[in-house]
Structure 1
Amino acid sequence: MMRAVGYRTAGGPGVLEDLELPAPAPGPRDLLVRVAAVSVNPVDVKVRAGGDPGAEPRVLGFDAAGIVEAVGAEVTLFAPGDEVYYAGTIDRPGTNQQLHLVDERIAGRKPVSLSFAEAAALPLTTITAWETLFDRFRLDADSTGTLLVVGAAGGVGSMVVQLARALTKIRVVGTASRTDSRQWALDLGAHEVIGHDEEPADVDWIFSPFTAGQIERYARILRPGGAITAIDEPPGLDLLPLKTKSITFHWELMFTRPLLQTPDMVVQHELLNRVSELIDAGRVRHTMTANLGPIDATNLRKAHELVEDGHMTGKVVLGGF
């Protein structure tokens, strides 16, 4: 048996409870990871509030860092004892448990310069940011132009800013509303930080975590042929204002590759390893801003409340059982 935190009915943070569950056994491509730290993302809050767990308790959690305890018969990328970090997938049990299974193709080598808690802040937001910049916008080392990062001090925004600065030549403009969040975005490398309602001119790309009611505004500030990548899903989204300028609209869901078992799943392993190298070289930094202590129901409730409040700078992390 192992300790875990889960919920039996959808609701507020109070539905989270401590559990004892059977330890899982790895499938052919799985790593069995002893979880050392996790972080909480908006997707945790969204699923907990509205996702029926069914007949059995559901364990949430996507980000994790830990040590490989055992491997499946077909694993080639890792061995027992390796330190890893990863974001898991939404169709398997979550990381808020002592022992967790993850497909080796979506796990990366933990940065050696970071603690487990610091590393656990990174995977989901790193994958989302990387796929936004390099899969959706198709940027590269020689790209120039202007990127607007809405919510630049948030979890994903923090990584979009850093990866854009580290791996491209583009100008990065972030949005933030508070003095501390503005400074955070500047410290991460944004060339400029403006208010959420300000409209910079001649923008080539927009990263949008808050898209509802913004399409007409985005159409005004984007250049012809520009592009938007959104990570939210506002109902009734009308994209017609983008047509006149031939603006491209992308969705980004970092769970797409593991959910659909795409042939290129291993790209997530590769990009996590690349970012691990950037971190150990001092070119990218972790985004942990709060560590609430051990992984238990009490601390996870506090973490969910912080994320649900919507004003987090960086990421909230929990470490150890």
Structure 2
Amino acid sequence: MNESLPVFPYRPAEPPRVVYRFDMKKPDGAEGVFSEGFQPAGGLFDIWRHAAWYSNPARLAPTIYSYCDGFVGTSSAPINSANSFLKWYMGNCRGGTLDALISSLGKRFQGMRSQAKLAENSILMKGASKKIADIQRAIESTKMIAPVGNNYRVSGWLYAIRTNQYFIGVRENTTRGRGKFVTDIADQIDLEGWLYPGPISGKAVCRAWLAFLQFADPKAPGAISSMVIDQRHQDHGGSTPDTVSPFKEGGWRGLIGYHAPMVDANKTKCLTPGSEGFNSLLQGETWDDERDSSGQPISDTHFPFGTPSDVETHTLSFAGTAEI
């Protein structure tokens, strides 16, 4: 076992009943959110990388990890979910005029598509990227950026999602002993954020509002001045929290990384949790089965350190820091 990898069991916390996500995708239709839900780009689970690829305004383009990310990001604060979305797509694009901004965004999207293609065919993750369609949707959305008074406006949708016990609290997993792993991006992390390890089904999405993000200066479009929410919402009848555990055979194993390596020393294997390379490190380890309320094992689902309620009683970590 490699003792130097900054990888730990996730710390469980009780999520709020509802969390939010901003997206360009519409709620209705065969490919709408009410039908498809939210899909992660890939299957890697590194909380530092998840935050870093959109929170650092100095980055001209997201790192390749963003196209392999296994988390679906949400937040208990609607404005935070919108900020995260806008930062990822607009980054540090600048323009003295709206035309200049759209030109700058065009170059960014071109680079993003190239990165997505690399991830899609990368040895790091097989079939990692589902972001290409999202990027194309974002390109189309730039045509709808329009001046409104002294502001510029981007339209999209704010979604409410019913949570289950498997949502991972960003605050719980980036503070206390783990805070030292995120010091360089600590002021950018959404501490109201809740990450889901895998896809969120459409049935868990309970409501959608048309929303408009307004920014005052095309030189800094990533800074939202306000979010206007149309109260004429669309409800998704019969919505319920997801009941399927993300702990599946070949799926998530309850481990999250903190800037874990994307490649090993030979640059042939990814060592971030969720990758084939990382999972090979766990071969031969003994894991506890997840159990239902009657104490009977549930087939094909696994908690690597017991149930969420007793994860903290286990001390296994790859960084040799049992108190974290």
Give the TM-score category using the shorter length: under 0.3
Question: Structure with the greater relative contact order (CA < 8 A, sep ≥ 6): 1 or 2?
Answer: 2
| Greater fraction strand | 1
The TM-score normalised by the length of structure 2 is 0.26
